[in-house]
Amino acid sequence: MASTYRTRFAPSPTGKMHPGHARTALVTWLQARKQGGAIVMRVEDIDRPRVVPGSADAIFRDHEWLGLDWDEGPVFQSSRDEAYQRALGQLEAAGMVYPCTCSRKEIAAIASAPHGDEGPRYPGTCRSGVTKPGKPPALRFVFEDPSPGFEDVLCGPYPEGRTGGDFVLRRADGIWAYQLAVVVDDDEAEITEVIRGADLLSSTPRQIALYRALGYRVPRFAHVGLVVDADGNRLATRHQATSIESLREGGRSAEQVIGELACSLGLTATSAPIRAEELVSAFDMTEISRSPFTWNPTP
């Protein structure tokens, strides 16, 4: 592992870059520049049916327009099948993987209860080796209780045992699961701190379990408060949210957008236009606002 600070941008090319992505990217960029570290640009395009052609290039342009550059990459997850297969093979050799032919409907019907953002807890139906013949299986990781706890830089203590259930590493259609891909990628890139949206907080124990099972060093985690619309819904690339591109085409300057985002994070007293580099010297990630922010920029 590298001893210097390393983090990453990890956009999914499923639509346009929105203010929520930009807000987390700003925190990531400021932290890396304040620490004198490096940022890797990684494109999380493993779910290929959902990829929108041209989206990755558009997201790169938006990053550059905002002044949020990176030092390495881009690295595309879609080109990393061999790395994921090696990690899967290591877990299989350790007896930590089994095939599962349960459908989502079946899991929902027999699971104990919905388990936060991760959906119904998988009850381990196929752990015994009984699967449906002729049906392509997903591959699940044996995730023993209690699930790992950790200390999040922004959200504080996340106690052990709050999530669980064996989870998918590779889907029945052959697509790699997010949990495995991000762990393999972050370890190979020697990422020391993962900064991302708070919607991924509850999936972190699963990733920590994989880091440990694979013998990887666990990075620090910092989950940034989400940006929501007026109805309280999280902005996302796959929804018709206000995009950075639309703000630019509507006449907004990069400095105006950065000013809005900086103010929402508590980095500035007002939303006056400002360049990202002007925020570096006074930046302290532990002092940014933890709360969700409603995107309602001034005209």
Contact 142, 97 (CB under 8 A): yes
Out of 3.40.50.620, 1.20.1740.10, 3.30.565.10, 2.40.40.20, which CATH number does the structure's domain 6-79+182-294 have? Answer: 3.40.50.620
Q: What is the pLDDT of residues 206-240, one digit of tens each?
A: 999 999 999 999 999 999 998 876 666 666 654 45
The count of C-alpha atoms lying within 13 angstroms of the C-alpha of 179, restricted to the half-sphere facing its C-beta, is 25
Residue 241 has pLDDT above 80, yes or no: no
Neighbours of 151 (CB within 10 A): 10
Contact 245, 62 (CB under 8 A): yes
CA 289, 292, 294, 297 torsion-angle sign:
positive
Contact 283, 31 (CB under 8 A): yes
Q: Provide the pairing of β-strand 138-141 with 38-43.
A: unpaired
Q: What is the pLDDT of residues 138-179, one digit of tens each?
A: 999 999 888 999 999 999 999 988 666 899 999 999 999 999
Q: Identify the pLDDT of residue 62.
A: 97
Q: What is the pLDDT of residues 3-41, one digit of tens each?
A: 599 999 999 999 999 999 999 999 999 999 999 999 999
CATH 3.40.50.620 domain locations along the chain = 6-79+182-294, 82-148+160-178
The count of C-alpha atoms lying within 13 angstroms of the C-alpha of 168, restricted to the half-sphere facing its C-beta, is 20
Q: Identify the pLDDT of residue 233.
A: 66
CATH topology for 82-148+160-178?
Rossmann fold (3.40.50)
- The CA distance from 96 to 81, in Å, is 19
**Mean local confidence (pLDDT), 268-278:** 96
Instruction: Report CA Rg, the chain.
Output: 20
Q: What is the pLDDT of residues 93-149, one digit of tens each?
A: 999 999 999 887 766 655 443 344 556 778 888 888 777 777 899 999 999 888 999
CA separation, residue 176 to residues 48, 181, 190 (Å): 10, 7, 21
Question: Dihedrals φ, ψ of 247, to 5°?
Answer: -65, -45
Q: How many residues does the chain have?
A: 299
Average pLDDT, the chain: 89
Q: What is the pTM of this model?
A: 0.90
SS3 call for 112: coil
